[in-house]
Amino acid sequence: METLTQNDLKEQAKTMREDNKIIKVDVLIIGFGLSVIPLLRELTRGEQSFQIISDGHTIWDELEANDRLDFDLVSSKHSSYYSFELVNHNTQDNYPTAKEFLDFQRKYQEQYQHYVKKDFAQKIENFDSFSIVHTTSGTIYQAKHCVIGTGFKRKITQSISSFNYDDAQNKTVVFTTIGDSANLMISKLIPRNARVILVTNGFVPVDKLVFIEGKSFTLDQLEAHNFRYISVFLFRQMDGGLIKSQLLPRFLVKPFFGDVLHVKHPITSVKKKIMQRFDRKPKSPFPNGVVALKYWPIDAYQQLFDNEQLEQSIENGYLLNDIAYFIDNGLVELWPKDEINMDRAAKKLTWEEKSVNYDEMIEGDSERPNLPDIYYHHPNGEAKNYSYNFRNTYMGIIPKELNNIYLIGYTRPTSGGLNNIIEMQSLFVHKMVTSDAFNDQTYQNLEDKIKKYDREYYFSKEHYYSDHLVYYGFYTQDMAKLIGIETSFRDCRSMKEVLQHYFFPNNAFKFRQKGEYKVEGVKSMVDKIWKEHKGFSNIRHYLYNYILTQIVIITTIMLLPIPLYFRIPLSFFQVFNLLMGFIVAKGVNIHRYLNAILLTGLVITPFYPSPWVPGITFLASFLVLFICRKLGLTRVPFNDLKNKKKYGQFYKRYVQAFENVKRKQKYKSDNKFNKFSKIKSKIT
C-alpha cells in the first residue's frame, strides 16, 4: 500500500471540500460544557468562524436526572463563577450549591446554544496546519484550530450519581479512596448510621472556610501566592509549614500538639506517601500532584447554618462533611491501606486482629481525559495515535506532539476552584487562535518550555496519576504572564496596590481589572473584597508572627554566653525548625497581640543586651498563646480537633435535622409515586 505524504492528504482534503463533503471552519470546539464558556464569550466578540459540536450530555445533566444535585461545591463563589458573571453578584464569601452552579452553566449554554450542532468527534487527524475531524453523524470538519473540552472519566462519578444511600442505612461501607467526591458520599452515610471504614495511606484535608478575628475566609483566600516573589523560603514556611510538620517524630509533637488531626490520628498523615514532594521544589510547598480534600469544619458550619433555616440549608445541599470531626469521634474508622488484607469476593477486610465483613465498597481511580481518538501525521505520511500525557502538554493546554489542538479543563487545582484555571486557559487559547504572532511565539521552542515548567514544578522525573493537579494561584499568575495581563510590583502606584499584589489571592478576576481582557466592574469588586476582609491583614500578621518569633529566638541564642561555634549552628537549626509551623499556626486569631509582645521585647533588647530579655519575651508570648489556646480563643487553620470538642450537641441537632429532611423528601416522593400510580390506573 502506498504511503501518502502530507501534501497528498491535503489534496484529498481539498477535493472533498470541493465535493461539499467537508465543512471548513477556523475554530472547531468539541464539547459544550463549563470549560468552553469563557472562550465562547471572547470568540463571539471577534471575526473568527467557529463551530461547536457536542452530544449534549454532561455529568451535571446526569446528576440532575438522578436528583443528585443535593450538595454544595468545594470551591468558593469567587473561584466557581467566571469574572464576567461574578461582577453581577454580591461579594460575600459563600459556596454555591450544585443547583445554583448548574443554573449558572445553563445561563451561558442557552446564550450560545445556536452555535452548537448535536454531534461528537469520533476521530481527529492532525496535520501541520489543520485538523480533519470525523464525527458520529458522518460530518467531516477541517479546522485550522481545534479546541477540546470534554472533561474527565472517573469511576467514582458513577457512584455519586447512582449509589443508593437509603439501602446503606445501618450497613458497613468501605472506601478505598478519599477526596472531595468520596467525602460527599461519607457526609450522606454518617447521618444514616452507616459504619464507614476508610482505607488510606494518608491524605491532606483542609477546612474550606474559617472565621478569623470575626471575618470569614475561604480556603482560596489564605494562600497569598505572590508573596513567593519576596521570599520563597518564608512563603514555604508560612503556607506549607503546618503540613510539613508531619516530618517531625510523633513522640516529640504529640504531648504539645496532639489536638491536630495528623498527630492524634497518624494514619491520616501523608508522611509515607508524598511528604518528599513538599521539600524537593524551591518554588512551592505544593508542587504538582498534591490532592487536598476540602470540607466544612463543624465550627464554621454551625456559625453559618445553625438557625431556623438549618433544615432548609440541608435540603439545599449544605451538608456537614467535617472528615476530621468524623474521624475523631469514631464515625469514620481508619485502616492503613498497606497493612490490610482485602478479600473482595468474600467482602471481607482484615487488619491485625480486626476483621469485618462489609456490604458496599467505594473505589476510586485516576482522572482520565475523555478525549476522542487523535492521530498526528508526520511529513512522511506516518500516522501515530496520540496518548495524553500532562507532562508533555504545555501548561496543560498544548500537547507537544500536536499542532493547533488545545485542551481546556484538564488541569485541576489543589485548592482554589477549577474555574480560576479554566478562565485563564480560555483567554490563552483565544489569543492562540486570534493572533498568529502569539501562536508562532508560543510554539517556538515548545519542548524546552515544557521541560522548564517540569523542572520548576515536579520533584522527580517519575510520572504520577495526579501530575495535572496544580497550585492554582501559581498557575493563574504564570498563565497571565504568558498572555501579557499579569500583575506586577512595577505597576503598583500606592501601598494598597502593593499589598493587593502580594496578599490578594490570584483568582482569575485579579488579572481582568485592566488590559486587553478587562471586565468592567472587576476592579471595584476587588476593592470591595479587599475591604470586606480587612485587607487580608490576618495573613500579614501570621507572617509577621513567624518572622518575629524566629528573630526573638535567634536573638536569644546569639546572646547566650556560649562559644560562637555553638551559637551559629543552633541559630541555623532554628531557622529550619519544623516546630515553628505548629507554634505559629496555634496563634490564629491573636497574632496581632502576640506580635506586639514580641516587638516590644525586640525594642528593649538593644538597651538591655541580655539573653534574658528576648528569652522572657518569647516565653511571655508563648504563655499568652498557651492560655488563649486553653480558653478556646485561638484556632489552628486546618484540622483543629480541640476546636471541635464543644460541638457535640450541635451535631446531634444536625443529625435530627438531616433525618427530618430525608423524611420530608420521602413523603414528597411517595406522594408523587401514588399520584402517578392513580393516573396510570385510570388510563389503564
Cell of 302: 454551625
Question: Which range is most confident: 237-246, 305-314, 316-325?
Answer: 316-325
CATH of 6-151+368-474 among 3.40.50.970, 1.10.10.10, 3.50.50.60, 3.90.1150.10? 3.50.50.60
Q: How far is CA 659 from the centre of its chain?
A: 31
Question: What pLDDT, on the 0 to 100 scale, is given for residue 529?
Answer: 97
281: pLDDT strictly greater than 60? no
Please tell me the predicted confidence (pLDDT) of residue 456.
83
- How far is 434 from 430, CA to CA, in rounded Å? 6
Lowest mean pLDDT among 107-116, 241-250, 537-546, 613-622: 241-250
Residue 237, pLDDT score: 78
pLDDT, tens only, 454-479: 888 887 777 888 889 898 999 999 99
Is 3 a residue whose pLDDT tops 50?
A: no
6 vs 195, higher pLDDT: 195
Average pLDDT over residues 607-633: 95
- pLDDT at position 406 is 98
Distance separating alpha carbons of residues 9 and 487, to the nearest angstrom: 45
Number of neighbouring beta carbons within 10 Å of residue 117:
15
Predicted local distance difference test score (pLDDT) of residue 2: 43
In 3D space, the residue among 132, 128, 580 whose CA is nearest the CA of residue 374 turns out to be 132
285 vs 178, higher pLDDT: 178
Read off the pLDDT of each residue in 622-648 and give the average, rounded to a whole number. 93
d(CA 621, CA 587): 10
Specify which residues 348 forms β-bridges with.
Answer: 343, 357
Number of Cβ within 10 Å of residue 545's Cβ equals 26
Nearest Cα residue to 354 out of 370, 378, 336? 336
430 or 460, which is more confident? 430
pLDDT at 144 (0 to 100)? 96
Per-residue confidence (pLDDT) for residue 206, from 0 to 100:
93
673 confidence band (pLDDT: 50, 70, 90)? very low
User: What per-residue confidence (pLDDT) applies to 173?
Assistant: 97
How do residues 88-109 score in pLDDT, each as one tens digit? 999 999 999 999 999 999 999 9
pLDDT digits (tens, 9 = 90+) for 36-77: 999 999 999 888 889 999 988 788 988 999 999 999 999 999
Distance CA 133, CA 17 (A): 13
Of the candidates 657, 673, 672, the one whose C-alpha atom is nearest the C-alpha of residue 315 is 657
Residues 415-438: what's their mean pLDDT? 94
Average pLDDT over residues 571-596: 93
Q: Contact, 48 vs 430, CB < 8 A? A: no
Residue corresponding to grid cell 478575628: 213
Q: Is pLDDT above 70 for 681?
A: no
- Report the alpha-carbon distance of residue 30 to residue 54 in Å, rounded: 6
Length of the chain: 684
**Mean per-residue pLDDT of the chain:** 89
pLDDT at 676: 47
Query: What 3 state SS string does 213-275 have?
Result: CCEEEEHHHCCCHHHHHCCHHHHHHHHHHHHHHHHCCHHHHHHHHCCEHHHHCHHHCCHHHHH
pLDDT given at position 4: 45
161 pLDDT exceeds 70? yes
Q: What is the pLDDT, as a whole number, of residue 674?
A: 54
DSSP-assigned letter for residue 20 = T
pLDDT at 453 over 80: yes
- 85-99, 155-169, 438-452, 543-557: which range is least confident on average? 155-169
Give residue 415's pLDDT.
83
**Furthest-apart CA atoms within the chain: distance in Å:** 99
User: What is the 8-class DSSP label of residue 348?
Assistant: E
Residues 225-250: pLDDT tens digits?
A: 999 899 888 887 776 667 777 777 78
Residue 672 confidence (pLDDT): 57
Q: What percent of the chain has pLDDT over 90?
A: 71
List the domain boundaries for the chain.
Answer: 6-151+368-474, 156-362, 538-630, 651-683
